[in-house]
Amino acid sequence: MSLKSAERRTSAPGLSITSRLVILFTVAAVLILTLTSGILYWGLAKSLEERSSHYLRDEVNMLRAMLVKPDGLEEVKREIAMETGTLEYVQHYVRVLDKGGNVLIETAGMGQIIPASAFPRPTREETRYGKRAEWRTADGQVFMLKALCTELGDAPDRVRLQVALNSTRRMKILTEYREKLLIVGFFGVLGSLAASVWVSRRGLRPLREIVSITRRVTATHLDERLQARHWPKELHELAGSYDLMLDRLQDSFDRLSQFASNMAHEFRTPLSNLMGEAEVALGRERSPEEYRQVLESGLEEYRRLGHIVDSLLFLARAENGAHPLTLSLLNLRDEVDLIAEYYRPMAEEKGIELAVSCVEDAPLAADANLFRRAVGNLIANALRYTPGQGKVTISWALDQANGIEVAVTDTGCGIAEEDMPKLFDRFYRVETTRTKHPQGFGLGLSIVKSIMDLHGGTVAIRSQVDAGTTVTLRFPSPPASLG
């Protein structure tokens, strides 16, 4: 096990998604409750304060209107006596002072509760609204104070009117309301905490099901599927992607298993031949010529094994992107003629016509060695599976996207429809051809596909049993840098 892998295994996990959601929900609930409670408290306090302010202003305006009358002091006295006699407790206090600060009239007991110095001292200009202040007594009572200068009947000098409104009840209401909001907030947070735990656990239940299913997936048990149950959209997409991943893995494992089986079969034949010849040679004394024949026969098998190993190494490098690709602008007619000349003696030996149907030139951006190998593999396959008096044709043409399509067509035995999807698998060979053509080992088309993948192209096969096969290589249009 690598060091990084060990560190990943031993590192402590972070908070679970459930815990994080619970924390986030709870914090959100606390913020919402705090904001809502603050707004409600501020609204109530503002409303009560405005009502008190309006009450105090109306009282001041009424008393001021009384004082400007000729018998204003007497009328104010009667008003104060009537209010203190009819109300359960005194809600506001009134005091009238002359220019020298002497009390002309005041509500009974006002001097012991609110001294005259507690009121703001208005200037001469402040005669309409007056100044406002607040006073808190030693026993916790709160008063809203207002003072202003006004006329007194026909007297030449102004008097000071002081009015105090008892706001203790208002403050008590706000205190009780604040305590209730705290209680509601506390239980609201507890409720939101419990609800967030329940919602998080219920909402994340599909994830726990996914974890349970994934734990059952092993190399020998890849048939588990999530099957996208009634889950949210995001998890539905995740489940679908997960099932597709398992499909790909299962397909890869099946191909790997088939590849291992086919590779063992391909290696078994030359190894068995080598072992058999060696055992026969060692069975008794042989002449130097006989030993030489055994070595020459073994060399052919060694070459076969070496060719298989080279092909597998090429495929591994190509799939991992480790094979270098050197693109150049090729003369397609020259390249095809060169390849055809190389395979023409083999075709003539089998009595097969090898023809090039296009003579016009066309630019092709490809790796020269890989292009020759791909087309050469296709020609070799065509010659192998085409009987005598048959024909193999190499052609090319521009496609609609300005790419190049190179096709190799033969008049051979053809390929059955059920074998077509597996033709590019490594070591896969049509069963009927294994005995007829034992010299092949099923890597030619795999190499061709890897070469086309390296070039960003495609390979396609059309075939009909007993009529022939056409393999088409499509190369993309040349890049501007090579134009």
Domain definitions of the chain by residue range: 23-175, 233-319, 328-482
What local confidence, expressed as pLDDT, does residue 434 receive?
Answer: 55
* C-alpha span between 119 and 149 (Å, rounded): 12
> pLDDT at residue 88 above 60?
no
Mean pLDDT along residues 1-7: 47
Cα–Cα distance list, 381 to 128, 143, 336, 384, 401 (Å)? 113, 109, 16, 5, 29
* C-alpha span between 282 and 298 (Å, rounded): 14
Q: Which two tokens stand for residue 99?
A: 């220019």
Tell me which residue of 54, 232, 231, 189 sits closest to 132, measured CA to CA: 54
Confidence class for position 40, pLDDT limits 50, 70, 90: very high
Mean pLDDT along residues 277-282: 78
Q: What mean pLDDT is reported for the chain?
A: 81
* C-alpha span between 68 and 10 (Å, rounded): 91
> pLDDT at residue 1 above 50?
no
Contact in structure between 444 and 290 (CB atoms under 8 Å): no
Cα–Cα distance list, 461 to 132, 297, 315 (Å)? 98, 36, 20
Tell me which residue of 412, 391, 397, 403 sits closest to 340, measured CA to CA: 391
Residue 438, helix vs strand vs coil = coil
What local confidence, expressed as pLDDT, does residue 199 receive?
Answer: 86
Contact in structure between 143 and 153 (CB atoms under 8 Å): no
Tell me which residue of 81, 80, 74 sits closest to 94, measured CA to CA: 80
Residue 377, helix vs strand vs coil = helix
What is the DSSP annotation of 116-182?
A: GGGS----TT--SS-EEEEEE-TTS-EEEEEEEEEE-TT-SSEEEEEEEEE-HHHHHHHHHHHHHHH
* C-alpha span between 56 and 63 (Å, rounded): 11
> pLDDT at residue 393 above 80?
yes
What local confidence, expressed as pLDDT, does residue 180 receive?
Answer: 92
Contact in structure between 147 and 160 (CB atoms under 8 Å): yes
Mean pLDDT along residues 208-219: 79
* 475 sits in which H/E element: strand 468-475
Q: Which two tokens stand for residue 371?
A: 């292009």
* C-alpha span between 143 and 162 (Å, rounded): 12
* C-alpha span between 75 and 153 (Å, rounded): 11
* C-alpha span between 407 and 458 (Å, rounded): 12
Interhelix angle 288-319/233-282, rounded to 10 degrees, is 170
Q: Which two tokens stand for residue 259?
A: 């590849």
User: What's the whole-model pTM score?
Assistant: 0.51
> pLDDT at residue 120 above 90?
no
* C-alpha span between 234 and 459 (Å, rounded): 37
Contact in structure between 281 and 291 (CB atoms under 8 Å): yes
Contact in structure between 131 and 122 (CB atoms under 8 Å): yes
Residue 363, helix vs strand vs coil = strand
* C-alpha span between 160 and 94 (Å, rounded): 11
What is the DSSP annotation of 106-132?
A: E-TTHHHHS-GGGS----TT--SS-EE
What local confidence, expressed as pLDDT, does residue 3 receive?
Answer: 44
* C-alpha span between 378 and 471 (Å, rounded): 7
For the domain spanning 233-319, the CATH number is: 1.10.287.130
Tell me which residue of 47, 44, 56 sits closest to 174, measured CA to CA: 44
Confidence class for position 11, pLDDT limits 50, 70, 90: low
Beta strand 391-398 pairing with 353-356 = parallel
For the domain spanning 328-482, the CATH number is: 3.30.565.10
Pick the CATH number of 23-175 from 3.30.450.20, 3.90.1170.40, 3.40.50.300, 3.40.30.10: 3.30.450.20
Confidence class for position 470, pLDDT limits 50, 70, 90: very high
Q: Who wins on pLDDT, 6 or 191? A: 191
